[in-house]
Structure 1
Amino acid sequence: MNGDNRAVSDIKKDLRIHMSSMRNTLSERERQMWSYESCNHTSVYLSNMGIRCFLTYIPFRSELSTVSLIEWGWQQQLQVLAPRCQPEDYSMTLHTIQNWGDLVPGAYGIPEPDLARSVRSAYHSVPEAIILPGLAYDREGGRLGYGSGYYDRLYERLRQVNGSRPSPLLIGLGFEMQVLSKVPMDGHDVALDVLITEKGIVNCKEEAIIDGNDTFQ
């Protein structure tokens, strides 16, 4: 991307196509193995941080699978939240899920909480951590999403609701092959606090300060 004078939106569009294609080339064995390793790192991190309530995406197509992380959360009796997308305004509602039967096909074909079975969180309820999907990441907290801004809007709403209290931890979860030297970011894009892949955990805030040295733990 060095020397690319195109608009950031155009660069992102092309990069989404490229990264989606790359992720689709992973074998099922690679996806399963690396998903499990990434989720294991995530569960250790959440435990160390004392997290009792977290929001996570439900995996779709070639995304890193969060299945083992969700089941770990249930086993630990944590509050596991999943989002429902509202395409009319690109917002999300958050719902507690307690088993796989709480999910039904939703917007875009992605599994979402069933309104008849899951418990919707109150508007002012804020999870301690949000685990985000993405197409590309960098170690300074950059994330390339799918272009609709659902999680950016959600984070801004939760940040305002929380007031002076700490904002939710933003955790990007992806495969190491999705990590780039730099992800193009707009002014409204929210930076991650933590990036987790099958290789380990990166504290993105520290990484930004030290300008790119490896901080895998």
Structure 2
Amino acid sequence: MEYNQQQGDYTTKQQLRTLLKQRRRAVATHHWEVASSKACSLAIPIIDQIRCQLDHPLTVLAYMPFASELDTRPLLTDLRNKGDHVYIPLTHREDVSMTWHEWHDHTSMKQGAFGILEPSNVAPLQAESWGKIDVILVPGVAFDRQGGRLGMGAGYYDRFWSQLCEVSSLEAITTVELGDEHLKKQCSRPVRISLLYNWQLIEAVPMESHDMRVDVLVHEDEIVYTTGQMD
């Protein structure tokens, strides 16, 4: 699907979003289970690398899977078992914002406005602590090898990323080196990682300057260290 910058991107984005959402809804349960397990297994060593280099328990922003999205829960459970702090979002539709709440054994969950499980009884991570965030697991509909990401359309993650960059602008930038002897990538924290089906990786996602980009893509067949510039 071609993208014409001069014509604007809303129609193109919406068509692409609709097409891939339909495909995701059609995923068979067995494929969902297998792809989720493989993607989580590939993502675990990446986050282990980050933890080893930063040498402290990680603060990770994550999310509960919705419908046929890849199941992130095996990965989140592994992180908690290793001592990391995992936060999941509570969405606020009145101002299209998110607050982040720690997910642990005593977290009560409720069904949110979009049908996604959300926390209901845990105090949020305060903005003054956002500088401690090490990893963000970012959901999406489509991705490309340059780090482009197409979200669900409401812009929650793009808005949060903009707020996070403002709050963290005075923080010292810490980088980690990911990959192996064949390919290495320098990523600034928080490192943005997305889990996806292999067919969600497309040639080019239409992007705007304010859109949140991703550092690492993980699907059932491959780990992709994106080629876009750190921001």
- CA deviations over 1:27-77 (Å, ceiling 9, x no partner): 101111111111111111111111611111110111111110111122112
What is the deviation of 1:168? 1.5
Once residues 82 and 225 of structure 2 are traced to their aligned partners in structure 1, the CA distance between those partners, rounded to angstroms, is 24
3-state DSSP of counterpart to 1:183: coil
TM-score (norm 1): 0.88
Given the alignment of the two structures, is residue 165 of structure 1 paired with residue 172 of structure 2, yes or no? Answer: yes
Amino acid at match of 2:20: M
- Residues 124 and 158 of structure 1 are in contact (CA less than 8 Å); yes or no, is this contact kept in structure 2? no
Once residues 107 and 123 of structure 1 are traced to their aligned partners in structure 2, the CA distance between those partners, rounded to angstroms, is 23
Once residues 201 and 3 of structure 2 are traced to their aligned partners in structure 1, the CA distance between those partners, rounded to angstroms, is 20
- Residues 137 and 144 of structure 1 are in contact (CA less than 8 Å); yes or no, is this contact kept in structure 2? yes
Note closer, same or farther for the CA distance 1:3–1:180 as it changes in structure 2 (3 Å cut). closer
TM-score (norm 2): 0.83
What is the deviation of 1:79? 0.2
3-state DSSP of counterpart to 1:49: helix
What is the deviation of 1:119? 3.5
Given the alignment of the two structures, is residue 119 of structure 1 paired with residue 123 of structure 2, yes or no? Answer: yes
Give the counterpart of 2:79 among 70, 73, 77.
Answer: 73
Name whichever of 183-192 and 136-145 sits farther off.
183-192
Give the counterpart of 1:98 among 89, 104, 108.
Answer: 104
Once residues 140 and 92 of structure 2 are traced to their aligned partners in structure 1, the CA distance between those partners, rounded to angstroms, is 19
Give the counterpart of 1:183 among 202, 205, 223.
Answer: 205
What is the deviation of 1:6? 4.2
Q: CA RMSD in A?
A: 1.8
- 1:34 corresponding residue in structure 2: 35
Name whichever of 3-12 and 22-31 sits farther off.
3-12
Amino acid at match of 2:26: T
- 2:196 corresponding residue in structure 1: 174
3-state DSSP of counterpart to 1:109: coil
Give the counterpart of 2:220 among 157, 181, 198.
Answer: 198
Amino acid at match of 1:119: A
What is the deviation of 1:107? 2.2
Once residues 90 and 113 of structure 1 are traced to their aligned partners in structure 2, the CA distance between those partners, rounded to angstroms, is 17
- Residues 143 and 192 of structure 1 are in contact (CA less than 8 Å); yes or no, is this contact kept in structure 2? yes
Once residues 107 and 72 of structure 1 are traced to their aligned partners in structure 2, the CA distance between those partners, rounded to angstroms, is 28
Note closer, same or farther for the CA distance 1:3–1:157 as it changes in structure 2 (3 Å cut). closer
Q: Which ranges in structure 1 are unaligned for 5 or more consecutive residues?
A: 210-217
Once residues 197 and 165 of structure 1 are traced to their aligned partners in structure 2, the CA distance between those partners, rounded to angstroms, is 31
- 2:182 corresponding residue in structure 1: none
- Residues 97 and 119 of structure 1 are in contact (CA less than 8 Å); yes or no, is this contact kept in structure 2? no
- How many pairs were matched up? 205
3-state DSSP of counterpart to 1:133: coil
Q: Which ranges in structure 2 are unaligned for 5 or more consecutive residues?
A: 52-56, 174-188
Once residues 3 and 39 of structure 2 are traced to their aligned partners in structure 1, the CA distance between those partners, rounded to angstroms, is 34
- 1:57 corresponding residue in structure 2: 63
- 2:92 corresponding residue in structure 1: 86
Once residues 106 and 32 of structure 2 are traced to their aligned partners in structure 1, the CA distance between those partners, rounded to angstroms, is 20
Once residues 88 and 167 of structure 2 are traced to their aligned partners in structure 1, the CA distance between those partners, rounded to angstroms, is 19
Amino acid at match of 1:202: V
**Percent of aligned positions that are identical:** 32
- CA deviations over 1:68-108 (Å, ceiling 9, x no partner): 01111221121011011111111110110103853211121
